[in-house]
Chains A and B, each alone.
Chain A
Amino acid sequence: MVNVQPLPTSLLPSEERAHEADHPTSQVAIFGSDQPLKLDCGIDLSPFQIAYQTYGELNAERSNAILVLHALTGDQHVANTHPVTGKPGWWQTMVGPGRPLDTDRYFIICSNVIGGCMGSTGPASTNPATGKLWGLDFPVITIPDMVRAQAMLIDRLGIGTLFSVVGGSMGGMQALQWTSAYPERVFSAMPVACATRHSAQNIAFHELGRQAVMADPEWHHGRYFEQGGFPHRGLGVARMAAHITYLSDAALHRKFGRRMQDRDLPTFSFDADFQVESYLRYQGSSFVERFDANSYLYLTRAMDYFDVAADHQGVLAEAFRGIKTRFCVVSFTSDWLFPTTESRAIVHALNASGARVSFAEIETDRGHDAFLLDVPEYVEISRAFLESAATARGLRGASD
């Protein structure tokens, strides 16, 4: 029989997963029954909590706050060591002292989205009504729901107007939603590598990922935690497929080519002969250690439903009519998940509504993932955009 090497099983006990969801290693804002979160599906979510991190200090005028919005599998740990993986924050190239999102100058906030699994209420959290984990009893949430929850957090922090909202991919969608829903509360916005709606191809990839999770017998219709298991293989496959969409043909070729993994000849088996296979397997298996399978279903669904124009009779420009927010839209040449055409559509709509918008397409072969990486031109543009916005906002420099 041909040798087969499936994805390894998860080593993380389910109690440990549940712990971070309910009792995160973060600051937590709890919203009681007097402050329900009104969801698009018609349900009032209450009580609920938001886990968040902050960096830097809020100035006396409360005018220097930047809300960083994380992507699908990101979380609030933007610039500190991750409590589960022990790895550095996911955006340390961009956030920190002297970085474009300068923690010596700005007050940086990043919260885990509603539906996430790192401490904000989601399917991995305990449902207070039953004392059990929510699982599929958790209502389906949308990008506007996430943003509504964030606005409640910003209220709680006593901030009227954010100096900026910044995010890539799903984070960029949230940035666009912020400007569309609360234009007067956002001085500037930087949506990166995103779109105002999820394309058919992207919905298709998400469906592939969800079906992979749900096809895993250990998923148990979303109640795996009660069975003591976890659909690690399904979620791992979902991550592997998604990860391919975050890269590019050129980047994969440059990084791996057809090179073999610790061998010179093919083994004539289904072992990971190629480096690219080994890399993908690693991506799949490391992801399941830190992410909840149900959460993955909910967050991909939220992205699928996103369509800013649909909330404005199909006219995208109406979503931004009369907006005063300064925008910097960024896309990457090799990003085929959120290609430049999508960013251009945002720019056209913003132009049509008279908004002040900059748009840069950055040349890189690193695909969609480039928004998380140290791409010098992208870092410089982010810095310059925020600096010019800070001048317009009357913010003092870090050294002043």
Chain B
Amino acid sequence: MSVEQTTLPLAGQPAPAARSYRSDHLVVAEMVEPGSKVLDVGCGEGDLLQLLESRGIDGRGIELSREGVNRCVARGLAVVQGDADTDLVNYPDDAFDYVILSQTLQATRQPRVVLENLLRIGRRAIVSFPNFGFWKLRLQLLVGGQMPRTENLPATWYDTPNIHFCTIKDFVQLCDEIDVKMERAVALDLYGRPLRLNAPWWFWNMFGEQGVFLLTRGNKAG
């Protein structure tokens, strides 16, 4: 999964030497305007936050696991222990330029409420999640008849934290339903490389291992 910095160079943004970032993190970071204020919900051990801070972005994080939080704080990051499902309500409206939910949506109890909160707290939201419509997963279920497992989703059905899997198509539909506008969408293949931009949705839904979306509030929401 970890792909070297050189696979996705970012214009005018020299990254620290001798450090490799996750490819989906690089895609996310590239969507964030420099100088912004960002909240990373479910920030894990702070890899994405550190990447953002290295680019002069004012980053904050929420993380559920105590070990993750303490790792982040020990790295000098501004991270608090909290739960995306219950703690986002405590943040005021428009507190951030971007709220990022990286590989966490599928692990929340109420993805729709979480998504609505993201776009209440932030002017924009960046959401990435594993695409359950990915051909490998479809094939495993079709041929093997068992819940799919991949390198990136290795957990068994009974111990997975991921309780709300969706496909790219499902997510697009939810965004329509709750009046969320997609500013940008990127599907990444199994190696974290962006799929070609002019591909149709069905192609992404089949060959995208994960989706990364830059979202804003729709017209109705103001």
List residues of A whose CB falls within 8 A of some B CB.
317, 326, 328-329, 344, 347-348, 351-352, 354, 356-363, 377, 380-381, 384-385, 387-388, 391
Contacts and interface: CB of A to CB of B under 8 A. Distances in A.
Contacts of B72: 358
Contacts of B79: 358-359
A315 B107 CA distance: 33
Contact of B95 (A351, A359, A362): A351
B81 interface: yes
Interface size class of B (residues with CB under 8 A): 20 to 34
B69 interface: yes
Given A384-B75, A387-B76, A391-B76, A360 B91 contact: no
B73 A358 contact: yes
B73 to A, nearest CB: 5
Contacts of A326: 78
Interface string B24-45: 0000000000000000000000
Nearest to B92: A352
A125 B178 CA distance: 67
Interface of B: 58, 60, 66, 69-70, 72-82, 87, 90-92, 95
A348 B66 CA distance: 17
A359 B60 contact: no
A384 B76 contact: yes
Main secondary structure of the interface of B (DSSP, over half): mixed
27 contacts: A317-B92, A326-B78, A328-B73, A344-B82, A347-B80, A347-B82, A348-B90, A351-B91, A351-B95, A352-B90, A352-B91, A352-B92, A354-B95, A356-B78, A357-B78, A357-B80, A358-B79, A360-B69, A361-B69, A377-B70, A380-B74, A381-B70, A384-B73, A384-B74, A384-B75, A387-B76, A388-B76
Contacts of A356: 58, 60, 78
A359 B69 contact: yes
By Cβ-Cβ distance, the 6 closest A-B pairs, closest first, are A388-B76, A359-B80, A384-B74, A348-B90, A358-B73, A356-B78
Contact of B81 (A361, A387, A388): A361
B117 to A, nearest CB: 13
A194 B164 CA distance: 37
B81 A381 contact: no
Contacts of B78: 326, 356-358
A354 to B, nearest CB: 6
B80 A385 contact: no
